[in-house]
Structure 1
Amino acid sequence: MPELTNPRAERVKAVRALAGRSARLRAGRFVVEGPQAVREAVAVGGVRVHDVYVTEQSAQRYPEIVRGAQDRGIRVHTGSAEVLDAMSADAQEVVAVADLLESSLDDVLGAAPRLLAVLAHVRDPGNAGTVVRASDAAGADAALLTSESVDVHNPKVVRSTAGSLFHLPVVTGLDLAGAVDRLRSAGLSILAADGTGEHDLDDLLDVAGAAPAGVPDLAAPTAWVFGNEAWGLRDEDRALADAVVRVPIRGRAESLNLATAATVCLYASSRAQRPARP
Structure 2
Amino acid sequence: MKTVTSRDNPLVKRLHALSASTSQQRRADFVLAEGIHLAGSFLDAGGVPRQCVISESALDDVETRQVLERIASERIVMLPDALFKQVSTVVSGVGLLLLLDRETPPVPPTIEHDCVILDGLQDAGNVGSILRSAAAAGVRDVFCATGTAYAWSSKVLRSGMGAHWHLRIHEHVEAVDLLARLRVPLALTDSHGAQAIDATDLSGPLAWIFGNEGGGVSSAWREVDHLRVTIPQPGGMESLNVAAAAAICLFEQGRQRRAARR
Asked if TM exceeds 0.5, the reply is yes
8 Å CA contact 2:2, 2:76 repeated in 1: no
Structure 1 residues 204-227: Cα deviation after superposition (integer angstroms, max 9, x where no partner): 2xxxxxxxxxxxx31101110100
Match of 1:37, as an amino acid? L
How far is the alpha carbon of 1:234 from its aligned partner?
Answer: 2.7
Q: Distance in 2 between matches of 1:178 and 1:246?
A: 27
Residue of structure 2 equivalent to 1:270? 254
Distance 2:80 2:259 in 1: 51
Residue aligning to 2:235: 251
The aligned counterpart of 2:197 is: 201
3-state DSSP class of the match of 1:237?
helix
- 1:263, distance to aligned residue in structure 2 (A): 0.6
More deviation, 133-142/55-64: 55-64
Paired letter, 1:92: V
Residues 166-223 of structure 1 deviation map (CA, whole Å, 9 limit, x = unaligned): 1111111111232123113xxx12101232351211212xxxxxxxxxxxx3110111
* CA displacement at 1:275 relative to structure 2: 7.8
Q: Quick one: structure 1 residues 24 and 260, their matched pair in 2 at CA, closer, same or farther if it must change by over 3 Å? A: same
Q: 1:105 aligns with which of 104, 107, 122?
A: 107
Match of 1:147 in 2: 146
1:136 is displaced (CA, Å) by 0.6
**Per-residue deviation at 1:25?**
5.4
Provide the rounded CA distance (Å) in 2 between the counterparts of 1:142 and 1:79: 37
Change (3 A) 1:200 1:25: closer
Between the two proteins, what is the percent identity of the paired residues?
A: 25
- Structure 2 SS opposite 1:245: strand
Report 1:87-166 matches (<5 A): 87-90=87-90, 91-106=93-108, 109=111, 112-113=112-113, 115-166=114-165
Whether the 8 Å CA contact 1:18–1:29 is kept in 2: the answer is: no
Quick one: structure 1 residues 252 and 107, their matched pair in 2 at CA, closer, same or farther if it must change by over 3 Å? Answer: same
1:76-106 Cα distance to aligned partner (Å, 9 max, x none): 2222222221111414311111111212221
The residue correspondences of 1:1-278 to structure 2 (distance < 5 A) are 1-7=1-7, 9-19=9-19, 20-24=21-25, 27-45=28-46, 47-59=47-59, 60-62=61-63, 63-70=65-72, 75-90=75-90, 91-106=93-108, 109=111, 112-113=112-113, 115-184=114-183, 188-196=184-192, 198-204=194-200, 217-274=201-258
- What SS class does the counterpart of residue 274 from structure 1 fall into? helix
| Matched pairs, number | 257
Query: How far apart in 1 are the matches of 2:162 and 2:77?
Result: 21
**2: CA distance between counterparts of 1:203 and 1:42?**
41
Q: Check the 8 A contact 2:119/2:218 in 1, yes or no.
A: no
Give the TM-score normalised by structure 1. 0.83
TM-score for the superposition, normalised by structure 2: 0.87
Read off the aligned partner of 2:146 and give its amino acid letter: S
RMSD: 2.4
Deviation at 1:44, TM superposition (A): 2.5
Whether the 8 Å CA contact 1:180–1:190 is kept in 2: the answer is no
